[in-house]
Amino acid sequence: MFRKNSLTRLSAALVCAAALAAGTAFAAPKDVPHNHWAENSVNSVTAKKILTPNAKGDFDGNKPVTRYELAVALDRFVKYIEAGRKPLHPTSRTGKLTLPSNANAEQKVALAHLASANFIPANSPLLKNGDKVATAKDLKDSLSAVVIRLSDRAEAPRKD
């Protein structure tokens, strides 16, 4: 079973490797100690609003994450990367998309974006049983699909 701190570590590493600093002011989560090994990564992903503290301002780094929560974080990550990229061609999925009825409104929006733009396949576990804790395979498969799709949407090299 993957824990949120494990997902956070991997997500933060990916975000830090792939994205520039947002440069905006934000409130760091209250429960991440100064000089904690993940402090910079947690601050980076929260500043970019890829992962967000709870209503009390805590990051909850040891709390398990569901597939729906993973879908929201992936969608925020995709939108963050897309904001700095120009698509080479239109991307969209044809056909009817069925969203899980037990997902909340934010989760449905995230899942609809990820699926309709082909960031996750129609048979993704994120679209089924999303309230279950994400496994390592769920994380690997979902991140792989997103990375492949993001690389397809990268800017073409300049011809200077």
CB 1 within 8 A of CB 132: no
Same domain, 54 and 70: no
Do 56 and 70 fall within a single domain? no
pLDDT at 143 (0 to 100): 85
Show which of 22, 48, 64 is a domain's final residue: 64
> Looking at the structure, do residues 154 and 100 belong to the same domain, yes or no?
yes
The arithmetic mean of pLDDT across residues 98-104, rounded, is 86
Q: How far apart are CA 130 and CA 140, in angstroms?
A: 15
End-of-domain residue from the set 19, 47, 64: 64
Question: Span 13-37, mean pLDDT?
Answer: 62
Report whether pLDDT(20) > 60.
Answer: no
Same domain, 84 and 33: no
- What token pair was written down for 51? 């992962």
Predicted local distance difference test score (pLDDT) of residue 23: 38
- pLDDT reading at 34 higher than 80: yes
How many separate domains does the chain show?
Answer: 2
DSSP state of 133: B
73, pLDDT greater than 60: yes
Q: Identify the weakest region by mean pLDDT among 21-30, 53-62, 78-87, 121-130.
A: 21-30
Can you give the residue range of the structural domain that contains 126? 66-160
17 & 87 share domain: no
pLDDT of residue 2: 44
Residues 60 and 71 in one domain: no
Q: Where is pLDDT greater, at 24 or 69? A: 69
Q: What span, in angstroms and rounded, lies between the C-alpha atoms of 57 and 67?
A: 22
Mean per-residue pLDDT, 40-66: 90
Of the residues 34, 49, 64, which one is the last residue of a structural domain? 64
CA distance linking residue 44 with residue 23, whole number of Å = 10
Residue 92's pLDDT is 67
Residues 56 and 115 in one domain: no
As a three-state string, the secondary structure of 110-147 is: HHHHHHHCCCCCCCCHHHCCCCCECCHHHHHHHHHHHH
**Strands of the chain, DSSP E:** none
**In terms of domains, do 154 and 142 share one?**
yes
